[in-house]
A and B are shown apart, each in its own frame.
Chain A
Amino acid sequence: MKKNITIIALAALLGSSVAIAAQQSAQVQADIDAFQNHFKAKFPEMDLDDFSKGPYSMNEDKLMQFENIMEMPPFEDSLDKGEQLWNTAFKNGKTYSSCFNGPVEKIRTQFPRWNAEAGKVENLEAMINKCRTDNGEKKIGWKKGKMAFISAYLTTAATGEEINVIVPEGDEKALAAYNKGKKFFYSKRGQLNLSCANCHIDSVGKKIRGDILSPALGQITHFPVWRGKWMRKKGNGFGTIQRRYGGCNKQVRAKPFKVHKDEYTNLEFFHTVMSNGMEISGTEYRQ
């Protein structure tokens, strides 16, 4: 009798845990497989995590330059500032960590995530600003500066952690947000009539002027990035993934969308899901 009770209790416990853990949508999993298999077939010599090195994984000389820069990265001070900001208490005495679950190295991999209650995708930068307003502080800029420092600190803390973004099976709103991001990614835009996919799937490894086009697979593993181009502009070189989306749109001569509105947040959702299974490589240098 005791055995039976134990078995029933165990079965009930297992059943409930299965119900709690959200399952990846079957459609999304099929998309991930097709997306990643495309790159694996096109570049059979590369491992999955090699793709996170972007354009540098496509050219030995560029990889050497990248590795040299990463030996003493020019953005270390900014990462320290990010850590300092993360640990600085708000006026009410709480810190950012009071708004997030788990240890610091696990925070980056929780985002972007689907919030079923709010019916929308939440990304890390949005949650950093939500944390501020929830604690009586003013919002900070979305794309660079302090926001990028904190976000970069969290990305670097998560180095080696695996991306596992879930579009819950059976949640139609979540799937709709994912599909909007997917459509955005594959839609040609702007006067140059180019989609994200035209450059970062169809033309990966090819040159565009002096630059090499990076694979879409793994692009998300190292943001915010420190870019030489952004350093030369006003600012300190750091930028979030949504800053980059805006830049890409401008380059194809499309009007960029406002950051942290549905267009780019859904795109970030899709873009990140496609790199599921890859490791976060920490904040990196980009040209």
Chain B
Amino acid sequence: MKKILLITTAVFSLSTYSADLLPSCHNWNDGSSDTVKAAIAAATAENKKAAKVGFEWRDTVKFIKKATKLSATPCNSSALTMANMAKAQALDAQKQAKDQANAGPSF
């Protein structure tokens, strides 16, 4: 009985310790702590698509740079917000390019 108690305590304390190694922003669903990095990568990829069609917006790269700078601090929620804003801009820019495919005079 003593043995079982000892093992259970050991396992419990070890698991608590290992959990402490992960940042509080760790995503238990996908097992990743790099949510911000993933968001920055996604924003960068989408912005490249917007640039390729010639409709990149002025501030998107600024947002990506800011997100990258903020991501140096772990679990900085502003970094994620900034990266998501950049991605949203890039997607809107791509939509704008499609909408303007037949742009022309209205008179």
Do the two chains bind? Answer: yes
A261 to chain B, nearest CB (A): 11
The answer to whether A187 and B58 have CB atoms under 8 Å apart is no
Contact residue among A197, A254, A256 (Cβ-Cβ distance under 8 Å from B55): A254
**Inter-chain contact B107/A34, CB cutoff 8 Å:** yes
- Provide the residues of chain A in CB contact with B103, threshold 8 Å: 183, 186-188, 195
Q: Which residues of A contact B58 (CB under 8 A)?
A: 190-191, 249-250, 253-256
Question: A254: which B residues are within 8 A, CB to CB?
Answer: 55-58
Query: Nearest chain A CB to B1's CB is how many angstroms away?
Result: 68
A contact residues around B71 at 8 Å (CB): none
> Could you tell me if B54 and A191 are in contact, using CB atoms closer than 8 angstroms?
no
Most A Cβ at <10 Å: residue of B51, B61, B89, B96: B96
Q: State the CA gap A201–B104 with chains docked (Å).
A: 12
Is B57 in contact with A187, judged by CB distance below 8 angstroms? no
Chain A residue at minimal CB-CB distance from B50: A255
CB distance from B96 to the nearest CB of A (A): 6
In the bound assembly, the distance between CA atoms of A34 and B61 in angstroms comes to 39
Q: Scan B86-106; emit 1 where CB is below 8 A from any A CB, else 0.
A: 000100100010011001111
A286 at interface by CB-CB < 8 Å: no
Q: Is the CB of A182 within 8 A of B54?
A: no
Which residues of chain B (12-56) have a CB below 8 Å from chain A?
A: 51, 54-56
A193 interface residue (CB < 8 Å to B): yes
A152 and B20 alpha carbons, distance in the complex (Å): 68
- What is the CA–CA distance of A144 and B85 in the complex, to the nearest angstrom? 35
Q: What separation, in Å, do the CA atoms of A190 and B54 have in the docked complex?
A: 10
Given contacts A250-B58, A255-B51, A255-B57, contact A193 B96 (CB under 8 A): yes
In the assembled complex, the CB of B94 is this many whole angstroms from the nearest CB of chain A, namely 13
Whether A35 contacts B105 by the Cβ 8 Å rule is: yes
Q: Does A263 sit within 8 A of B, measured CB to CB?
A: yes
* Docked complex Cα distance between A254 and B54 (Å): 10
Please tell me if A139 contacts chain B, counting CB pairs below 8 Å.
no
The 6 tightest CB contacts between A and B, nearest first, are: A187-B100, A187-B103, A186-B103, A255-B56, A253-B58, A38-B107
A binding-site residues for B, Cβ under 8 Å: 31, 34-35, 38, 182-183, 186-191, 193, 195, 197, 201-202, 249-250, 253-257, 263
Interchain Cβ contacts under 8 Å between A and B, 27 examples = A34-B105, A34-B107, A38-B107, A183-B100, A183-B103, A183-B104, A186-B105, A187-B100, A188-B99, A188-B103, A189-B55, A190-B57, A191-B57, A191-B58, A191-B59, A191-B92, A193-B96, A195-B103, A197-B105, A201-B105, A202-B106, A253-B59, A254-B55, A255-B51, A255-B57, A257-B54, A263-B54
| Chain B residues close to A by CB (< 8 Å) | 51, 54-61, 89, 92, 96, 99-100, 103-107
